[in-house]
Amino acid sequence: MPPLLDPDDVYAATRPGKLSPVVRRFPARVYVPNGTSGTVDVIDARTFRRVGRFPTGQLPQHVTPSWDLRTLWVGNNQGNSLTPIDPATGRSGRRIRVADPYNLYFTPNGRRAIVVAERLRRLDFRDPHTMRLRHSLPVPCFGVDHLDFSADGRSLLASCEFSGHLVRVDVAQERVLGILRLRPGAMPQDVKLAPDGRVYYVADMGSGGVWVVDAARLRVVGFVPTGKGAHGLYASRDSRHLYVSNRGEGSISLLSFATRKVVATWRLPGGGSPDMGGVSADGKVLWLAGRYHDEVYAIDTRTGRLRARIPVGQGPHGLCVYPQPGRYSLGHTGVFR
């Protein structure tokens, strides 16, 4: 794994303006997978206008940057395929057959892609370029869907939505290290490592908040209530706050990494269903899909004001803001180091 720029901040390489030479000339776009429509909408991130649309396979869930930053992958969950996108042109390529790609990640050393096969209850370790299967790892839980990696890249923590578990996996050995059961009724979603690497934050849609989990010992050390349907987690560009999208109440919570407390709550005018997304390259706009309202939200990160509400296809989910700062991608809708 490339060494961290700052051992006390895993996000040090993602400051505003720190674009890799690979992506500097890519147009600023937001790629929105519309699960019900089976399409991807393309939005100009500067004008807030839709500038394109193309078909994908059945039930596209997330748009994921490749480890080397050169390709975007659309995970067609029920279509059992991945659609590549060239971010230089915004054009899609030929689909690759892949079983159950609910989500997609890359090991920190870039040697493997990890297809999160939610329905099949496994993590599939694949070649990051051809997507050829190398090893399937069954997981002892139901609904595995999101994950993040430890600061040293040696392990990952995955959430299992339907059984309320968290699973830790040895990345190099590709084996399960341990499992943690959360409270009854928990529905863990997105997972995000704290800047200092000491704890993971896990959004819990069933409990309406965020679990704080010791990254070394795999034990719960706290819970922060945020709002109904806590779902997506995104670090601010200065590594000070965690944005938490509360899908069930149309709000976004700002959680302080320093105090582990909510310091502000932004509510979408007229409501909404903020889901997955990402932060603009300059850190000034938080982009989120409106899962059940067929729209995308552009939110000012300085004031919490809604700058734009953009109509898209049906069932928008894991949108990708691209390009973003960082040296390499760990996957999902854009987790960079």
H or E element that contains 203: strand 199-204
* Section 121-129 average pLDDT: 98
Q: How confident is the model at residue 164 (pLDDT cuts 50, 70, 90)?
A: very high
Between strands 96-97 and 81-86, the pairing is: antiparallel
CA angle, 202 as apex, 223 and 169 as ends, to 5°?
125
Q: pLDDT tens for residues 280-309?
A: 999 999 999 999 999 999 999 999 999 999
Q: pLDDT tens for residues 238-288?
A: 999 999 999 999 999 999 999 999 999 999 999 999 999 999 999 999 999
pLDDT at 17: 86
Ramachandran region of residue 286, left (φ > 0), alpha (ψ -120 to 50) or beta?
beta
pLDDT at 306: 98
pLDDT at 98: 98
pTM: 0.97
- CA atoms in the 13 A half-sphere facing the CB of 85: 31
pLDDT at 144: 98
Q: What would you report as the CA-atom Rg of the chain, rounded to the nearest whole angstrom?
A: 18
Question: Which three-class secondary structure state does DSSP give residue 14?
Answer: helix
Q: pLDDT tens for residues 59-74?
A: 999 999 999 999 999 9
pLDDT at 321: 98
